[in-house]
A = this chain, B = another copy of it.
């Protein structure tokens, strides 16, 4: 996995440099919201989505670090950060810490966290539009909306404290988490001009990796300490969240994460050695628990 760690570092660096350029400076009026946008975006995320986008872009013939791919990567991180800021609000998951730092509404204010989340979402659409590809704007809006991320988010909130079926958990995770991860992979391929057949396989890969990512997150919430997570551990259980471990137990959750990774690998076997980074990314996501 040494190659992959190098790759993640390179993508993170390039994405952060792009975000640095594209986000409004903290000194720009009104300063408070621009400070919040940068505070949350540079809070130490692993840049998983940019890595998947760039790996997919390269696997389909794009060149590492092309401007359009970097702009799309930066936009994806901003959409992701927007969702985290709103997720953490007192009326939602009510989290005080994220990645070991106070959440946006704690470090600033609730009003500014609502507006700062909105601002990141809107600025990210502006960046996507600047790429000049209206199909990518559509793709992203679909992945984020009520038939994607926000739909999953609603059912997640509404399922709290209730007994839910495995199908409901699958719906939540498929939409809340996998939709945006899958779009990262798809947008990389779209930018590189991939064929419909390639797109179909990469979409399946993205969904499997995205689901695996959330199953692993659920497992980590049960098995890790607060220090390891950078946020309060065991909070899912405490709040009665609909998670895989809560509906099928830890062992079955681990088996399922493994199965999803195997399926993801099959999806990209057609890429041969060009799919190495995508292969290793799938492995990387699951090794967080092994």
With A125-B125, A129-B138, A154-B30 as contacts: A118 and B115 at CB distance below 8 Å: no
Interface of A is mostly: helix
Q: Does A132 contact B (CB under 8 A)?
A: yes
Chain B proximity of A75: nearest CB distance (Å): 11
Beta-carbon contacts of A75-105 to B below 8 Å, as 1s and 0s? 0000000000010010110000000000000
**Number of copies of this protein chain within its complex:** 2
* Residues of chain B contacted by A155 (CB below 8 angstroms): 30
Beta-carbon contacts of A115-154 to B below 8 Å, as 1s and 0s? 1011101110110111011110110011011110011011
Q: Does A34 contact B (CB under 8 A)?
A: yes
With A86-B118, A118-B121 as contacts: A126 and B151 at CB distance below 8 Å: no
Would B118 and A91 count as touching, CB distance under 8 A?
no
Would B150 and A118 count as touching, CB distance under 8 A?
yes
Would A30 and B146 count as touching, CB distance under 8 A?
yes
B-contacting residues, A1-48, CB 8 Å: 24, 28-30, 32-34, 37
Would A154 and B91 count as touching, CB distance under 8 A?
no
* Residues of chain B contacted by A146 (CB below 8 angstroms): 24, 28, 30, 33-34, 37, 119, 123
With A86-B114, A114-B86 as contacts: A150 and B122 at CB distance below 8 Å: yes
Give 7 A-B contacts (CB < 8 Å), ordered by A residue: A30-B155, A114-B114, A119-B145, A119-B146, A119-B150, A122-B150, A129-B138
In the assembled complex, the Cα of A89 lies from the Cα of B151 at a distance in Å of 21
In the assembled complex, the Cα of A163 lies from the Cα of B52 at a distance in Å of 50
Query: Out of B34, B134, B144, which one reaches A132, CB within 8 Å?
Result: B134
What interface size band does chain A fall in? 35 or more
Q: Which chain B residue lies CB-closest to A157?
A: B111
Among A29, A37, A92, A137, the one with the most B-chain Cβ atoms within 10 Å of its Cβ is: A137
Would B134 and A129 count as touching, CB distance under 8 A?
yes
Query: Out of B30, B32, B91, B138, which one reaches A126, CB within 8 Å?
Result: B138
* Residues of chain B contacted by A129 (CB below 8 angstroms): 134-135, 137-138, 141
